[in-house]
Structure 1
Amino acid sequence: MDIYDFKNAFLIGFFMAFMIGPVFFMLIQTSILKGARAAIAFDIGVLLGDVSFILIAYYGSRSLLEKIKDDPRLFFIGGLVLIIYGLITYLDKSNKKEALETSKLVDVPIKNNYLKLFIKGYFLNFINIGVLAFWLGTVLVIGPTLDMNQSAIFSYFGVILLGYFATDIGKILLAKQLKSKMTPLVVYKVKKVMGILLIVFGFLLMLKGFIPNERIDEFLH
């Protein structure tokens, strides 16, 4: 993996960490109420959920990837998945309600149970089908650009998760400040922005299917 791919993968992980949802709030809440170690245990469970989705997305779409890896329609499919996910995020009327309800959750434990927090993080992430849609779209786009090299693909997604986890550590350390800033209105607006970004990214991926790779390389370099 060259430095360009590493940087792109790390940035994807960074922006993923700010996708507002139940996991985001539970991570902040866990850090404030139960401490950094508890939040890290919870976050590792979340990451394992992402690993599960990545494996499902990769092996579930592998035959499709092998058949159309040189077909520009692959980018159209991946872009369409991200656009649909972005539209769902943007148009979701429950965003504001979810923000209000989640911000009111209070759970003051007597003693931390790290295994329970780990399992909670895993299942809270794993039951979100939108996360699978995101990883599926990403796999469909990234796979062909790495020539379907399995080790390169998993290395790329490993860096994404590294960027995600590193950013989450920062969120955990700044949890109290984030908690005070993340009002329901701010949450609602951030979700709207994230939806728009996913839609734009999806359109760019679809466009990439109609632009020769040589032109893209000339533009990037």
Structure 2
Amino acid sequence: MDIYDFKNAFLIGFFMAFMIGPVFFMLIQISILKGARAAISFDIGVILGDITFILIAYYGSRSLLEKIKDDPRLYFVGGLVLIVYGLITYFDKQNKKEALEHTKTIEVPVKSNYIKLFFKGYFLNFINIGVLAFWLGTVLVIGPTLDMNPNSIFWYFATVILGYAVTDLGKILLAKQLKNKMTPLVIYRMKRIMGIILFVCGIFLILKGFIPNDKIDNFIN
């Protein structure tokens, strides 16, 4: 995996850490109320949930990827998944007021039970089918670009998880400041921005499947 892939993977992990949802708010609140160790225990469970989804997406689609890795329709499918996920994120029914109420109503155990927090993080992330859809779209797109090389794919997604974990650690350490800045308007705008980014990435991937690579390179340059 070259340096470009490394940076790309790390950035994906960074942006994932700012996807607004129950996990985001729970991590901030646990960090504030129970401390960094409790939040890290919760976050390890969340990350393990992501790893589980990556394995499901990879091994569940591997045979298909091997057959059509040079087929432009693969980019269409991957791009379509990202577009749908982006639209869901952009048009989320949860409005600004509801987002603020959500941060107030999260229940955190009075005592710090690290094992319990670990499993809470794992299952809270695992039951979110949207996360699986995101990883499926990512695997469908990244796998063929790395020639379905298991070693390259492993290090790519390991870097994504590293970027996610490092960013989450920063969120844990800066939890109080982040909570003060997470106003309903900021939450609303962040969700819309993330939705637009996913939508644009999906459109780009669909175009990549039908436009020769040399023309794309000329356009970018």
TM bin (shorter chain): over 0.9
Distance 2:106 2:145 in 1: 45
Q: In the aligned structure 2, how far is the partner of 1:82 from the partner of 1:95?
A: 22
The answer on 1:29 being equivalent to 2:29 is: yes
The runs of 5 or more residues in structure 2 that have no matched partner are none
When residues 178 and 219 of structure 1 are mapped into structure 2, their CA distance, relative to the original with a 3 A threshold, is same
Residues 127 and 152 (structure 1), Cα distance of their counterparts in 2 relative to 1, 3 Å cut: same
Instruction: Give the equivalent residue in structure 2 for 1:94.
Output: 94
> How many residues matched?
221
Q: Is the 8 A contact 2:30 2:108 kept in 1?
A: no
Q: Is the 8 A contact 1:95 1:191 kept in 2?
A: no
Using the TM superposition, give the Cα deviation of residue 109 of structure 1 relative to its aligned residue in structure 2, in angstroms.
4.2
Q: Please report the TM-score for the alignment, with normalisation by the length of structure 2.
A: 0.95
- In structure 1, the residue matched to 2:210 is 210
Shift of 1:214: 3.9
The answer to whether the 8 Å contact 1:31/1:172 transfers is yes
TM-aligned CA distance change 1:98 to 1:63, over 3 Å = farther
Q: Describe how 1:1-221 pairs up with structure 2 within 5 A.
A: 1-96=1-96, 98-105=98-105, 107=107, 109-216=109-216
Shift of 1:60: 0.9
Whole-angstrom distance in 2 between the partners of 1:128 and 1:211: 34
Distance 1:27 1:151 in 2: 32
Aligned-pair identity in percent equals 79
Deviation at 1:111, TM superposition (A): 2.5
- Counterpart amino acid of 1:50? D
Distance 2:7 2:175 in 1: 26
Q: Secondary structure at the match of 1:104?
A: helix
Distance 1:106 1:207, change over 3 A: closer
1:39 is displaced (CA, Å) by 0.6
- What SS does the corresponding residue of 1:48 show, helix, strand or coil? helix
Alpha-carbon deviation of 1:207?
A: 1.1
Given residue 63 of structure 2, which amino acid in structure 1 is its aligned partner?
A: S
Q: Distance in 1 between matches of 2:45 and 2:23?
A: 11
Residues 26 and 106, structure 2, Cα contact 8 Å, conserved in 1: no
Deviation at 1:94, TM superposition (A): 2.1
- 1:105-137 deviation digits (Å, cap 9, x = unpaired): 254644311000000000000000000000000
The code of the aligned residue for 1:163 comes to: G
Instruction: Report the Cα offset of residue 188 of structure 1.
Output: 1.3
**Aligned residue identity for 2:127:** I
**Partners in 2 of 1:97 and 1:125 — Cα distance?**
23
Give the conservation status (yes or no) of the 8 Å contact 1:32–1:176: yes
What RMSD in Å do the two structures reach over aligned CA positions? 1.6
How many angstroms apart in 2 are the aligned matches of 1:212 and 1:103? 47
Deviates more, 1:110-119 or 1:163-172: 110-119
Give the AA of the match of 1:118: F
Give how far 1:186 is off: 1.4
Letter in 1 for 2:134: F
